[in-house]
Structure 1
Amino acid sequence: MSTLRAMWHAALLQVALTRRDPEHALILLIAPMQTTTMLALTVTEHRTDAVANAVLAPGLIGLWVAALDYAGRIVPEDRWAGRFSPMVAAPVPLGPVVAGRVAMVVLVGAAAFAESWLVAALGFGRVLTVADPALFVLAVAVTCLATVGTATLLSAVLTVSRARDVLQNSLGYPFYILGGILVPVAVLPGWLHPFSHVVFLSWSAELLRDAVHGNAHGWPRSVAAILGLGAAAMAAGLWLTGRYVDQARRNGTVGFA
């Protein structure tokens, strides 16, 4: 079975699991509340220039939360449900299976962008007009791809870590800041900029804002950076997942949590 076909079947498996246990779609309930809070602040302070950021931020947060919240639970949940042993015994590497399942969760998280736009339009009368729709769609697409790659790496890191819950709880707000989600990277202290540049969210947030305002002159560089960082994370995640499975086989711990 090819890698893409394995990922497709893994995505279908995730659809079936989500239908039985839709907790992974809870981000769709959180995004409207986040949009309401951010927009209320911008309207109260009469910051019309910050409306775009207030609408885009919940969408990016939704993607990150969907990836981070679910990524670290794939293997532990599979062990508890008895799915891990058959997956390891299958002739398909576990890495693409994890990536395919994460991709479906990320796709659900991407719906937060549409929710934020609707909340702004219907709840506050602020219709966010996108100056460059084609570039905006491209930015969302490459951001989703990079999120899948990063989530695959997070899944492997959190699986092998003994402090999974601590890492999950601590990888939220620091990345909202470094990723330029809450505020643009340009207003952060200069010594933080190099760290922001290795977080794909910083490129995504800037590209999305530029697409909204219609001044994305350097968009090829941003797209390349997003895809490059996502691909690097995916490669590292697949490698680390393979190492984890090999170690579990050698130690005879495939069937144990």
Structure 2
Amino acid sequence: MITTNRPTGPVRAVEILLAGARMQVLLVRSHPLIPVVTVVQPVVFFLVVTARHPATADRADLLFAVLLTSLWGGTLWTAGGILRRDMADGTLGRNLVSASDPRLVVIGKCLGSCLLVLALLACTGGTIAVVTGIHVPLAALPWLVAGLVFVALSGTALGYLLSALFVLVRHPVQLTSALVFPVYILGGLLIPTSALPAPLAALARGISLYWAQRLLSSAVSGDGATLPALLVLGALTIAYFLVGNVFFVRVVHRARVKGTIDLG
């Protein structure tokens, strides 16, 4: 009898997630969009915002807003296009009929994209903080680390949702472009929600990046809003995963049953 020590259950699921993340990092690390989103864009945004508000004392809040805004753009163009790229490369069919849960592969790829963009943004943000003299208290570091972990999970959930959505719609490129600026405006990142009409300002509460900014900013300022922001961010992240799963099930159904999605 031949026996193997091949891991099963949760260990195997983690292996699949990590393999998918590693594969995605290798695929997108040399994409010309990566340095634009993670270096050029945040630097330009920060210079523009601080030029309009030169006397503000809360530059850490502005820096977090700039970094999260860039993260949204990176999530749209890297994680959001994963399934569309699989279709173009002819690998979508193999992913859907493999022995492993195809959701784990897609989520792992979204995680890889998000971690790559977030890590590069953290380096850019740290450089900006050092150059501009933004001070981060040592007591805030545990909350900042927890916040970044939740931001990575939220970005992964958004990527999972968007990657399935972009397969289901007819014009994914146009939809990607159309989603960029509404979040910039409604997310309370670069434009304060107090400057928006009340109905529009309320929409910010359903955007995870709004709570991510509140979490990171409150961690540095110590205003006591850290835990509530963390809880809401976690709840929205779970909601994004659930909605993304609904979309992904529809993708699988259309591909396997209806045959209305090209498997490549």
Identify the TM-score tier after normalising by the shorter chain. 0.7 to 0.9
Confirm whether residue 250 of structure 1 aligns to residue 257 of structure 2. Answer: yes
Confirm whether residue 41 of structure 1 aligns to residue 29 of structure 2. Answer: no
5+ unaligned residues in a row in structure 1: which ranges? Answer: none
Cα distance, 1:137 vs. partner? Answer: 1.9
Q: Say if 1:149 and 1:233, in contact at 8 Å, map to a contact too.
A: yes
Cα distance, 1:24 vs. partner? Answer: 5.3
Q: Say if 1:145 and 1:230, in contact at 8 Å, map to a contact too.
A: yes
Cα distance, 1:144 vs. partner? Answer: 1.6
Deviates more, 1:221-230 or 1:89-98: 89-98
Amino acid at match of 1:4: V
| CA deviation map 1:141-192 (0-9, x unaligned) | 2122111112211111111111211211111121122221113334433222
Mapped partners of 1:161, 1:132: distance in 2: 42
- TM value normalised by structure 2: 0.85
> What fraction of aligned residue pairs are identical, expressed as a percent?
24
- Aligned pairs for 1:118-137 (under 5 A) are 118-122=127-131, 125-130=132-137, 132-137=140-145
Tell me, what secondary structure is at the counterpart of 2:206? coil
Amino acid at match of 2:240: A
Q: Say if 2:255 and 2:263, in contact at 8 Å, map to a contact too.
A: no
Q: Relative to structure 1, is the Cα distance of residues 163 and 128 closer, same or farther in structure 2, using a 3 angstrom cutoff?
A: farther
- Aligned pairs for 1:167-182 (under 5 A) are 167-182=175-190
Confirm whether residue 4 of structure 1 aligns to residue 11 of structure 2. Answer: no
Tell me, what secondary structure is at the counterpart of 1:171? helix
* Residue among 15, 24, 27 paired with 1:14: 24
Aligned to 2:100: 92
Q: Relative to structure 1, is the Cα distance of residues 9 and 240 closer, same or farther in structure 2, using a 3 angstrom cutoff?
A: same
Q: CA RMSD in A?
A: 2.2
Aligned to 2:172: 164
Amino acid at match of 2:48: T
5+ unaligned residues in a row in structure 2: which ranges? Answer: 1-7
Deviates more, 1:47-56 or 1:92-101: 47-56
- TM value normalised by structure 1: 0.87
Amino acid at match of 2:242: A
Amino acid at match of 1:66: G
Confirm whether residue 221 of structure 1 aligns to residue 228 of structure 2. Answer: yes
| CA deviation map 1:122-141 (0-9, x unaligned) | 2xx33333462222222222
Mapped partners of 1:163, 1:148: distance in 2: 22
Confirm whether residue 68 of structure 1 aligns to residue 68 of structure 2. Answer: no
